[in-house]
Structure 1
């Protein structure tokens, strides 16, 4: 449930907020209204995007995840794993800027790094089941477990296998589970009579209309890709282009200049301008350093300047190329009709 919070005037010239983009700053102010009375909230980019950016479809969960990462790098929010195994976040300077009258108890786990002694909702007091903190969500086991459990906790005594294809599918599934758990395969075990049939099955397997492509079929909320089967092709990012510009400079430019160039470059890439034109504009800017706002004009110059002047005979064949005027060698012959 959203709440009314306090935003101090000092927030608009905060050096910490100046390290993040304007979009990330708005996400931060939005989290102030969505966090509970202890500054805690679920760390889920899709949920936060739906709460804070409902009328801005272009700012989807992928961009909100980038906002949260920027805020975490600036130590404005802390992302942690609760004792229930889920991801949460809390605003680091919450109690310095928010004065809550009669705060309600939080329903979310506390952060062991900042609030280790505070009340933890799942533990009904000080957290007794603290999990190990990780800067990024863990998506797999770091090492193999010596005691791998059997998948789905299958019973030790085998159940009766139904006849038909269902029995074969169950047997293949059991073999796959045994292989995952490290137990001996049942390939050498005595058959229960389900490996062969005298008559064909009346239920023929359905065929796919198209070939199956590798990759995940789950779409991220807010993704503009029509299918999640294949990853999008790698493209040049704004940070890479600005990084090339910084590497070409004799001295590292000020941070404000780099940040301004990065925002302009990101906007130009969003308009569909090719990285080659932006790279040419950055090279021109490196040779003639001015205010970062002129980068747009330099990119436009790189896009639309052609050799041969304004006539551009290659693009407009009916217009002759410009030729500089020279005095005729024989003035009497050149101006005979006028003399």
Structure 2
């Protein structure tokens, strides 16, 4: 639930805030209103984009993820994994800048690096748990299990009993002593349904026969229209593209700029964007400069140079636009045929 928070004037002269982009500062201020009374929030770019940028369609979850990464690099927020295995973040220096009257208990796990002694929401006390993999049993066994044998050593089935004629019993039953102990066939005899089956199981194996390719099978998630995008060229890496950009510069750019560009280029290659479009975006970025977060928009300009509006399948560009009706200057000439 959103809350009313305070913003100090020192925020606008903070050197750490000056290291990040303007949109990252807005995301940082917006987190004040969404974090709980202990400065904690879910580390999910899609959720944060939905509550902070609902009316800015151009600022998507990808841009919010870039804002969060900038804030993390500047030391303004801390992203961590809680004791329940989920991702969270907290605002560094929250208790020094926010004075909460009667703070409520946090439902989120505490950061063990900064708030190890604070109360953890799931633990209801100081968090001492460590993230462990779930105890899911494997689907197949490499070695045979020692608890149960592979086959049951059952005795041979008894011979068919000859038919009884009159009051006389068969010779085998007449001569054998009475009682279950006298017949060793009844000792450790198994119940019905425990015999082994000789034919193999018709169930198909769980192993995948075809080789699995890295990356997502859906190259453009969230789009209801096919884009025709193919997988990127595996021979071109993000380091190669950024290296070409650095070589074209007169002076070597700062390390933060190169690292930021490398992360963005790697993300664009993972989306299946052709390296030629990324090269064009880097070339345009070298001409106009600015913050590295502008690179995706420059790559989009290279991919869609003549795109205008939000045209979709079924759009008819040849249909003339609607023209508002106006009174004719010469009514007699305009309606000569109808008068």
Structure 1 residue 274 corresponds to structure 2 residue 277: yes
- Structure 1 residue 226, shift from structure 2 partner: 5.6
Instruction: Compute the TM-score of the two structures, normalised by the length of structure 1.
Output: 0.51
Q: Note if contact 1:36-1:106 (Cα within 8 Å) is conserved in structure 2.
A: yes
Distance in 2 (alpha carbons) for counterparts of 1:275 and 1:44: 27
Q: Which runs of 5+ in 1 are unaligned?
A: 133-137, 142-148, 152-175, 206-211, 266-271, 286-290, 305-339
Q: Determine the structure 2 residue equivalent to 1:42.
A: 42
Structure 1 residue 234 corresponds to structure 2 residue 242: no
Instruction: Compute the TM-score of the two structures, normalised by the length of structure 2.
Output: 0.51
Q: Aligned pairs, how many? A: 237
- Structure 1 residue 104, shift from structure 2 partner: 1.6
Q: Note if contact 1:81-1:131 (Cα within 8 Å) is conserved in structure 2.
A: no
Correspondence list, 1:252-263, <5 A: 252-253=252-253
- Relative distance call for 1:7 and 1:234 in structure 2 (3 A) is farther
- Relative distance call for 1:192 and 1:13 in structure 2 (3 A) is farther
Distance in 1 (alpha carbons) for counterparts of 2:48 and 2:217: 17
Correspondence list, 1:254-333, <5 A: 274-278=277-281, 292=289
- Relative distance call for 1:52 and 1:187 in structure 2 (3 A) is farther
Distance in 2 (alpha carbons) for counterparts of 1:56 and 1:280: 27
- Relative distance call for 1:188 and 1:279 in structure 2 (3 A) is same
Q: Determine the structure 1 residue equivalent to 2:56.
A: 56
SS at match of 1:274: helix
- Relative distance call for 1:67 and 1:280 in structure 2 (3 A) is closer
Q: Note if contact 1:78-1:91 (Cα within 8 Å) is conserved in structure 2.
A: yes
- Structure 1 residue 54, shift from structure 2 partner: 2.6
Q: Determine the structure 2 residue equivalent to 1:177.
A: 139
- Structure 1 residue 44, shift from structure 2 partner: 2.2
Distance in 2 (alpha carbons) for counterparts of 1:225 and 1:213: 27
Q: Determine the structure 1 residue equivalent to 2:91.
A: 91
1:16-39 superposed Cα distances (whole Å, 9 cap, x missing partner) = 123223332222222111100110
Distance in 2 (alpha carbons) for counterparts of 1:13 and 1:90: 22
- Structure 1 residue 260, shift from structure 2 partner: 12
Correspondence list, 1:1-339, <5 A: 1-127=1-127, 129-131=128-130, 151=137, 177-179=139-141, 183=145, 189=151, 192=195, 196=199, 223-224=221-222, 233-234=231-232, 244-249=244-249, 251-253=251-253, 274-278=277-281, 292=289
Q: Which runs of 5+ in 2 are unaligned?
A: 153-193, 205-209, 266-273, 306-339
1:78-101 superposed Cα distances (whole Å, 9 cap, x missing partner) = 112222332221000212221222
Q: Note if contact 1:77-1:89 (Cα within 8 Å) is conserved in structure 2.
A: yes
1:281-313 superposed Cα distances (whole Å, 9 cap, x missing partner) = 577x5xxxxx747xx9xx99xxx9xxxxxxxxx
Q: Determine the structure 2 residue equivalent to 1:268.
A: none
Q: Note if contact 1:112-1:130 (Cα within 8 Å) is conserved in structure 2.
A: no
1:143-166 superposed Cα distances (whole Å, 9 cap, x missing partner) = xxxxxx662xxxxxxxxxxxxxxx
